[in-house]
Homo-oligomer: A and B are copies of this chain.
Amino acid sequence: MSHRFTLFTGQWADLPLEQVCRIAQDAGFDGLEIACWGDHFDVDKALSDPAYPDSRRRLLEKYGLKCWAVSSHLVGQAVCDAGINERHQAILPPRIWGDGDAEGVRQRAAARMKDTARAAAAFGADTVIGFTGSAIWHMVAMFPPATEATIERGHQDFADRWNPILDVFEAEGVRFAHEVHPSEIAYDYWTTDHALHAVDHRPGFGLNFAPSHLVWQDFDPAGFLYDFRDRIYHVDSKDARKRLDGRTGRLPWGDPRRGWGCVSASHGDVRWEDVFSMLRFIRYDGPVSVDWEDAAHLKAYDISPRSASFDAAFGLGH
């Protein structure tokens, strides 16, 4: 196994980046997937202060770490969402939220995504991971039924709002990797197909493969990898598990009476050997990011600095 493993810093946003670097080095990671929130990677600063990207990079190098991807899920969500409300306010930077006027929020979010591409390029990361939002999720999510025209309008809105962003991405040589997920324009196999079509399969738009969202929707993660193999731009090793007792529901998080939740890789229903076997087969050579749900426990782990540890965590020791 020769995958490069990176630590996603989003769960550690309360710690200074240097401390996270130290932990990652001790744990044997090859690099970081840096979150564009907290102090870890400041998009504004990266654009206003030419020395900033370089200083961040040198900080990583000091700990033997690299960065191939930055994460910007939260801002991306606001680019297309129809309803902009307190849930968005809770996750957006104040400058993007502004006065909370929906269209204003969307446009500021779109502008920030362009800046994120520029900042990533300056920093030397070739991939930005995130969500797209969706103008129609609240309509397709159930009843009353959405018409085909409504669905089509949603994909057009997605294309209209993201194509200008993707123009910047492609100009900067950076790729956007959308995480297929309910609430987004592409939330399952066939809507992924639809969304890729909506932007004409342009190279700037691909996928962040996070199988946790696939397994509870009853998809086969390995088949998904194969069918969208030319658009797998990043891999995020999140897992999920279902409990079916005849009463469990779908929502919200963290309540074990409800049927499923995200868990750390290898504790859920994702068959990781199949995933890694397929990643090799489609010759995916990008990083595999580890998203520790409860970072506070990492220190309790017995993570040796040898890369074999990651193989073992995924049951890949042969």
What residues make up the interface of A, taking CB atoms closer than 8 Å to B?
Answer: 1, 74, 77, 82-83, 85-88, 90-91, 131, 137-147, 150-151, 181-184, 187-191, 217-220, 222-224, 226-227, 241-253, 255-259, 261, 263-264, 267, 271, 273-274, 277-278, 280-281, 292-294, 297, 300-302, 306, 308, 311-312, 315, 317-318
> CA separation between A92 and B219, bound complex, in Å?
36
A277 to B300, Cβ gap below 8 A?
A: no
- The chain B residue sitting closest to A241, CB to CB, is B273
Q: Would A252 and B91 be within 8 Å (CB), given that A85-B139, A258-B190 are in contact?
A: no
Q: Would A308 and B318 be within 8 Å (CB), given that A83-B82, A141-B142, A245-B223 are in contact?
A: no
> CA separation between A147 and B318, bound complex, in Å?
23
- The chain B residue sitting closest to A239, CB to CB, is B318
A144 to B77, Cβ gap below 8 A?
A: yes
> CA separation between A261 and B271, bound complex, in Å?
14
B142 to A259, Cβ gap below 8 A?
A: no
A297 to B317, Cβ gap below 8 A?
A: yes
Q: Would A146 and B87 be within 8 Å (CB), given that A247-B220, A293-B318 are in contact?
A: yes
Determine how many copies of this chain the complex contains.
Answer: 6
| A interface: dominant SS | loop
> CA separation between A261 and B274, bound complex, in Å?
10
> CA separation between A252 and B150, bound complex, in Å?
12
Q: Point out the residue from B256, B264, B297, B302 that lies within 8 Å of A278, measured CB to CB.
A: B256
A257 to B145, Cβ gap below 8 A?
A: no
Apart from A131-B143, A256-B278: 18 A-B pairs, beta carbons within 8 A: A83-B139, A85-B139, A138-B138, A138-B141, A142-B183, A146-B252, A187-B249, A219-B247, A223-B247, A223-B257, A224-B246, A224-B247, A243-B274, A256-B281, A267-B317, A297-B311, A300-B308, A300-B317
Residues of B within 8 A of A243 (CB): 220, 222, 271, 274
> CA separation between A306 and B300, bound complex, in Å?
9
Residues of B within 8 A of A292 (CB): 318
Q: Point out the residue from B91, B139, B318 that lies within 8 Å of A264, measured CB to CB.
A: B318
- The chain B residue sitting closest to A312, CB to CB, is B302
Nearest Cβ distance between residue A131 and chain B, in whole angstroms?
A: 7
> CA separation between A311 and B222, bound complex, in Å?
29
Nearest Cβ distance between residue A196 and chain B, in whole angstroms?
A: 14
Residues of B within 8 A of A226 (CB): 256-257
> CA separation between A182 and B277, bound complex, in Å?
24
Q: Point out the residue from B182, B190, B302 that lies within 8 Å of A308, measured CB to CB.
A: B302
Nearest Cβ distance between residue A280 and chain B, in whole angstroms?
A: 8
